[in-house]
Amino acid sequence: MNLNIFVQHFINALSLGSLYGLVAVGYTMVYGILRLINFAHGDIFMLGAYFVYFATIVYKLPWAVGVVIAIIGTTICGLLVDRIAYKPLREAPRISALISAIGVSFFIENFAVVVFTGMPRPVVQPPILMQPIVLPGDVRLIPLGILVPIVAFVLVGCLLWLLYRTKPGLAMRAISFDIETTRMMGVSVNRIIALAFGLGSALAAVAGILWALRYPRVEPFMGMTPGIKAFIAAVFGGIGSVPGAMIGGLILGFVEIMSVAFFPTLSGYKDAFAFCLLILILLFRPTGLLGERLEDKI
Amino acid sequence: MRKFLTALMLVLMLCTVASADDVIKVGIFNCLTGQNAFGGQLELEGTMLAHTLNPTILDKKVELVIVDNKSDKVEAANAVTRLIENDKVNAIIGTYGSSLAMAGGEVAEKAGVPVIGTSCTNPLVTQDKKYYFRVCFIDPFQGAGAATYAFRNLGFKKAATLVDMANDYSVGLGKFFRDSFKKMGGEIVASLFYQSGDTDFTAQLTALIDAKPDIVFLPAYFAEGAIVLKQAKELGATFRFIGADAMDNPEIVTLGGDAVEGFMHTTFAYDPSMPEMNETAKAFTAEWNKIHPDKAPNVNCALGYDAYILLKNAIERAGSAEPKKIRDALETTKDLPTVTGMTTINATHDAEKDMGIVEIRGGKKTFVGIVVPEV
Amino acid sequence: MQRIRNLILTIIAVVLFAFFLDKAPELLNGYWQRILNLIAINAILALSLNLIYGITGMFSLGHAGFMAIGAYVSALLVLSPAQKNAMWILEDIYPWLLNVNAPFIASIIIAGIVAAVFGLIVALPVLRLGGDYLGIATLGFAEIIRILITNTARLTNGSLGLKGIPAYTTLFMSWGCLGVVLLCMVCMLRSNFGGVLRAVRDDEVAAKMMGINTFKVKVIAFTLGCFGGGLGGALMGNLITTIDPRMFMITQTYNILMIIVVGGLGSVTGSIIGSVLVTTMLEWLRFVENPITIGSINIPGIPGMRMVIFSLLLIIVIIFRREGIMGMREFSWDIFFPKAKPKPKHEESNHESVLEVEDIVLRFGGLSAIDGLNFRINHGQIVGLIGPNGAGKTSAFNVISGFYKPTSGTIKFLGKSIGGLSPDEVCKAGMSRTFQNIRLFGHETVLQNVMTGARIRQKYSWWMSLMPFVFTDVLREDSAVKAQAMNLLEQLGLSEFAEEKASSLPYGAQRRLEIARALATRPKLLLLDEPAAGMNPQESDELMKFIRRLRDEFDLTILLIEHDMKVVMNVCDYIQVLDQGIHIAHGTPEEIKANPRVIEAYLGHEDTDKETDRIIERHYAKKEGQK
């Protein structure tokens, strides 16, 4: 492998990793506050991509309008999911909410099959984002590949600002610490949780849109693999930690790309590499890279 | 009074017997949902078109019983059991996806009900099976066809493969392609893998660019294939791609845009763009366009259609809809005109038919010609 | 009487069902037979996952991987060499594999064992993880297994999978296997070992203090669960007759998880009801995908509709009956009969120095929690450990009982050094304790809580509990322990609550139950952490009498932490005082009352931190348990 090829791999990994990170941030956001592994996150992500498809391909709206519609629409769907399937289970054991999440995931996927059919659909890619920039050494970079990490980092920055510098952010962190006490402090817990869910869904929508742009195909099951991958990425970084999710996503992206780059004959084992690394990390840091350490309180 | 009732009962019973005898029940199990839904749905539409055009066989009404197998093996076995046990079908058509066909085939084999596979191309599907047939050719034949075309017709000497490790169809074709290509004297410079569900192929493609092949064999499903081609273009890959029948879908151009330009794939000898279409194919295309004016037919539709035609022919020759007799008749099918060319069922129950090559030219699927694989 | 009656009823039910299975081929068509088979297999899978998750409380998402191992092992063993030869069309099969063969029954047992071995390999590293992290790690292992199967084509035929597996899974086979699994599991869960499993789920820390090596228990439960997964997978392969790696994706695990949650997490009956419901529901709902004619309206079939309705039903069940159909309850014939009450029976060392603590230092990072603690306790003494909040009292308890390792210093218990022993080993050495925030096994009965404490004195191994009718030691020891536990409850005035859930007891009784449970381990030294917390003056008066009685009746030595000075001064023979980790004073109650340093320490700090402490505590309790 020469240097040019390596640089190309590096760029590919950065682009893939930041996409994983973006999906993972939404995952971790909901987890951090509700301790709920939202298995439906990948499917909400899929809805975001479908909204863009409908807005741009079916209704031929301008691309930017499509993005706004998709974010709003997906957020509403996310809030509905929370209201219908999770809110009644706030006081229930966590497994109930988890199974409800699996149910929601099945529902959204199959509902999409019924409504949209199983046929993969194309997505409009704005040419300005897709025209490759040829760097020295024939390394190619598409503008979207730069846009994805930028959007991801900006969003993570905004999110951190929101969590650590604003009142609702404070309330969110308080809820993740102790929901009962927060409620007693006069915080409208359900509103804050809905806000967190809305944010998580909006993030899923952004990720879904960027994903659909990068890999221009939408189908009902497109959220499954990214959903699981993002879950891994979130755990890598320490589930519940926003910067952790981003770092986890990047690590996952790099592991996947670099394992193929350095061991092309073992490319069939690509996902196994990622999982092995995950388990190794957990063995040495049982709560992920940036996860909070928990001591047994006796 | 009692006599009257008995008589009435008798009449009723006779009626039901007669009506049961008047109907030929054909079961369809295909993947209408799940990961392979895009293929199964097209095949179902083809079969349904054939049924609409031929609603009766031997003057008996044909009733289609449609069951979804969810692209899942357990479900496939359940679906076939249900067709045989609950609906008492005379014969079954299906399915897209070889592993699903294998699961269903075991059940049908035991019950002695003939099944006609649509596009399950793995050699194992009909291996040791008395009751499983198919209207498609098989993977070794197709892999060899792609290799022959690349090596002989296009004159490429260095090839590589990019294979979906988790997909039996893809793994099999990749292997058969490599074997044939090497046998003809070509060189395989790289053999890379991905997993179903992947969307990012940049790592594999960059590694391929590094290996500098003339042509890459990509036995993928069309939805994945289109994305691979797109990313290859973004990365500035200069080699060409050749695929197989699963890439044959009208949507590939919509999905891949200009990135699929110049992409070739082997397929069954049918395409709406074919210059010299046989009579059956002409009729099929015309009827299809009447029902689906907004959607061009593809080989999956044609194979779904052909499966029904093959079954109809067998029942007519057998003169009966009894499963055993249908089976025997199917076995002796020879030179039956179907949409995808002349169909002959060989000793291993596979269809022997011509293989076509399609290339995307000017954003349109273009039928290039027939290739004769050097097996 | 009651037991004999129930046994007879069970036997009748089993015989009737066997008769039904025998006649099933005539009564039911192949389709319904297949569904019956699937129900049994799903039930086996659900029971095994329930053992791991519902009963022992380990969140595992790896079941599909163990199923895959089982299915492949069994299939490779039952396929004939000729079939194997024909099937490996892409790569050559390993020659040694070609002729490996075993009869079906042996093959499914081997399948279970291989899955269990893999389970053990997985369990040893990952069971140290808790909660969701364990879930993702097991999911990772399942995926790795699947990827390995896909990539090792010479062994497994890769993504082509295996086909033509003989259909050995008959109704008798699947239901027979379910019967055996069920019998073993019910026996185990009824034995005291089953109680231990549930104790680990309810409160791992407290279980450790009962002398239970919780890690070992978890590894056993996980490995047994994996055996069940492998067995289920093997039966599944022999029913479907063809397998490939894609059958064993994460959705397969979701399906099983769904069954156990719908049925009731932790309930054996629930798992079976769940698998009947989920399996038949999925099939029955097929009608919505067929064209429906209502009167003259013709609704065309919609593919995918079935799963939409199914997932909706699932969500509705969870929302309106979150604990599942059975909750944690089990089916019992007793529900058909009026209740009869059980009757209890009767039961009962000497070192000068029981505990010697020398120069104990405990540091967390730079913070020292204890800085040089020295004291000794003689046999029969009641010693108080007091000090203001944050003085390091509970830390001292945690060091003595083995939860924390001291940074330096030695602890001698009954003349032997116990520094570095784990809590369960300390407990086995003869020390037991209670906790500041009561830690009972809340879902268990009062009796079961106490019996868990007696598990360390039982000699039978966990595997014997699977077959109690062969190893009658299990039954004998369990009934002895039960009698002793009843006796203990009577002595502590708790016998009226014996069959009630521990969490439903009034506060004072919960405190006493925690002590009863500690006593069941037959300790020489009992550590009590704030026994009077939350009691009114009248209750604490009773507590004082109770503590003295304990010492006399059970020949105990007692070390207690207490804030209630009245209790401390009245009950203790000797007092040790800590302040900010420093051992500032010791002496008789009179000496302590007069010690100016003690007074200063108490007045100098105020109890403002208490509220913060409470919040932090709850936070941890929540993260740890979710229960």
Provide the shortest C-alpha distance from residue A177 to chain B (in Å). 37
Nearest alpha-carbon partner for A108 in C312, B186, C512: C312
C90, B85: Cβ pair inside 8 Å?
A: no
pLDDT, one tens digit per residue, over B138-165 is 999 999 999 999 999 999 999 999 999 9
C-beta of residue C103 within 8 angstroms of C-beta of residue C66 = no
What's the pLDDT at A298? 53
C314, A296: Cβ pair inside 8 Å?
A: no
If DSSP states are collapsed to H, E and C, what string results for chain B? CHHHHHHHHHHHHHHHHHHHHHEEEEEEEECCCCCCHHHHHHHHHHHHHHHHHCCEECCEEEEEEEEECCCCHHHHHHHHHHHHHCCCCCEEECCECHHHHHHHHHHHHHHCCCEEECECCCHHHCCCCCCEEECCCCHHHHHHHHHHHHHHHCCCCEEEEEEECCCHHHHHHHHHHHHHHHHCCCEEEEEEEECCCCCCCHHHHHHHHHHCCCEEECCCCHHHHHHHHHHHHHCCCCCEEEECHHHCCCHHHHHHHHHHCCCEEEEECCCCCCCCCCHHHHHHHHHHHHHCCCCCCCHHHHHHHHHHHHHHHHHHHHCCCCHHHHHHHHHCCCCEEECCEEEEECCCCCEECCEEEEEEECCEEEEEEEECCCC
- C304 in contact with A at a CB cutoff of 8 Å? yes
What's the pLDDT at C608? 43
A261, B203: Cβ pair inside 8 Å?
A: yes
C536's enclosing H/E stretch is none
Q: Which chain C residues contact residue B108 at CB under 8 A?
A: none
Provide the shortest C-alpha distance from residue A154 to chain C (in Å). 28
Nearest alpha-carbon partner for C406 in C581, C574, C523, C557: C581
Q: Quick count: other Cβ atoms within 10 Å of Cβ B222?
A: 25
pLDDT over threshold 70, residue B319? yes
Q: Which two tokens stand for residue A222?
A: 């497109």
Q: Which chain C residues contact residue A278 at CB under 8 A?
A: 136-137, 140
Q: Quick count: other Cβ atoms within 10 Å of Cβ A267?
A: 25
A240-to-A26, A66, A283, B151, C266 alpha-carbon distances in Å: 10, 30, 18, 55, 28
The position carrying tokens 């008789």 is C588
Q: Rounded to whole angstroms, how far apart are CA atoms B218 and B225?
A: 7
pLDDT over threshold 60, residue B3? no
What's the pLDDT at A142? 85
C498-to-A247, C262, C433 alpha-carbon distances in Å: 53, 29, 21
Provide the shortest C-alpha distance from residue C15 to chain B (in Å). 28
Q: Which chain A residues contact residue B199 at CB under 8 A?
A: 211, 214-215, 217, 222, 225-226
| Chain A residue with Cα closest to C159 | A268
| Chain A residue with Cα closest to B166 | A268
Q: Which residues of B touch C (CB under 8 A)?
A: 32-33, 37, 41, 66-68, 70, 72-74, 77-78, 81-82, 84-86, 99, 102-103, 106, 110-111, 122-124, 127-128, 165-168, 170-172, 175, 195-196
What's the pLDDT at C300? 65
Q: Rounded to whole angstroms, how far apart are CA atoms A70 and A64?
A: 10
- C121 in contact with A at a CB cutoff of 8 Å? no
Q: Which chain C residues contact residue B221 at CB under 8 A?
A: none
% of chain A exceeding 70 in pLDDT: 98
DSSP summary character for residue C243: B
pLDDT over threshold 80, residue B24? yes
C89, B123: Cβ pair inside 8 Å?
A: yes
Neighbours of chain A (3+ CB pairs under 8 A): B, C
A298, C615: Cβ pair inside 8 Å?
A: no
What's the pLDDT at C344? 39
ipTM of the complex: 0.88
pLDDT, one tens digit per residue, over A149-189 is 899 899 989 999 998 888 888 888 888 777 777 887 778 88
Q: Which chain A residues contact residue C319 at CB under 8 A?
A: 85, 88-89, 100
Provide the shortest C-alpha distance from residue C251 to chain A (in Å). 9
Residue-range domain boundaries for chain A: 25-222
What's the pLDDT at C338? 61
Residue-range domain boundaries for chain C: 33-250, 352-430+523-602, 443-521
Mean pLDDT, residues A91-100: 82
C-beta of residue C263 within 8 angstroms of C-beta of residue C275 = yes
Q: Rounded to whole angstroms, how far apart are CA atoms B357 and B146?
A: 9
C331's enclosing H/E stretch is none
Provide the shortest C-alpha distance from residue C530 to chain B (in Å). 57
Q: Which chain A residues contact residue C246 at CB under 8 A?
A: none
Average pLDDT of chain B, as a whole number: 89
C87, B99: Cβ pair inside 8 Å?
A: no
pLDDT over threshold 90, residue B201? yes
- The residue with greater pLDDT, A9 or A34, is A9
Q: Which chain B residues contact residue A225 at CB under 8 A?
A: 197-199
At C506, phi and psi to the nearest 5? Answer: -65, 160
Average pLDDT of chain A, as a whole number: 87
DSSP summary character for residue C444: S
What's the pLDDT at B9? 55
C125, A177: Cβ pair inside 8 Å?
A: no
CA-CA-CA-CA dihedral for C127, C133, C135, C140, to nearest 10: -90
Longest CA pairwise span in chain C (Å): 98
CATH of domain C352-430+523-602: 3.40.50.300
Choice among B234-248, B354-368, C126-140 with the minimum mean pLDDT: C126-140
Neighbours of chain C (3+ CB pairs under 8 A): A, B
A102, C254: Cβ pair inside 8 Å?
A: yes
% of chain B exceeding 90 in pLDDT: 62
DSSP string of C384-440, one letter each residue = EEE-STTSSHHHHHHHHTTSS--SEEEEEETTEE-TT--HHHHHHHTEEE--SS---
Q: Which chain B residues contact residue C34 at CB under 8 A?
A: 77-78, 81
| Chain C residue with Cα closest to B86 | C31
Which segments of chain C have a pLDDT < 70?
1, 290-301, 303, 338-351, 365-366, 603-627
B74, C247: Cβ pair inside 8 Å?
A: yes
User: What's the sign of the alpha-carbon dihedral C246, C251, C257, C259?
Assistant: negative
Hey, what domains does chain B have and what are their CATH numbers? Answer: 2-139+280-354 (3.40.50.2300), 141-273+356-371 (3.40.50.2300)
**CB neighbour list of residue B91: distance below 8 Å, 6 or more residues apart:** B26, B27, B113, B114, B115, B116, B311, B315, B321, B323, B326
